[in-house]
Amino acid sequence: MTGAVSRHPAVAGERRAARDPRPVLLGEDAGDELAAATDADPFEREYGQDWLDYQHEIGLRHHRAKKNVTDGFAEAAAHVPFRWLVPLVYPMAQTIRPFLHDAGAAAEEADAIAVAFTKSLLLQIRLWSRPYVGDAEW
């Protein structure tokens, strides 16, 4: 699912030189850790303090405070602008539907899962935005 998001033109943003036009903001280049974080978080994590701390860390890794420091992706965008965070919800939420359908979920069940997934994504994006705003605004 993450790869589908990374290929979305509004999300991909910066790309490598013309010799290698693959998107590098999110997706294949981020490896198993990113895929596991974005694919499993809404379904398998308990929403406790450890999860909140992890979400804060993800926000820092999108912000210039820690972008490309922890994971060492030198060719990735140096910063994910705040204005890109909220629009991530739509492509991420919509790309789950084909996976649910392929897994054999009934239409009603797939709709319920997609709604819950979207709610979780909204919460995660809200938490990821924390590094972008000052304490007075938070």
Q: Which CATH code for domain 31-132?
A: 1.10.490.10
Domain ranges of the chain: 31-132
Q: Which two tokens stand for residue 102?
A: 């392929």
pTM, entire model = 0.64
pLDDT greater than 50 at residue 22? no
35: its two tokens: 């895929």
> What tens digit of pLDDT does each residue of 81-116 get?
888 888 888 888 888 888 888 899 999 999 999 999
Locus of tokens 């997706």: 27
Name the pLDDT band for 45 (thresholds 50, 70, 90). Answer: low
**Residue matched to tokens 């996976």:** 99
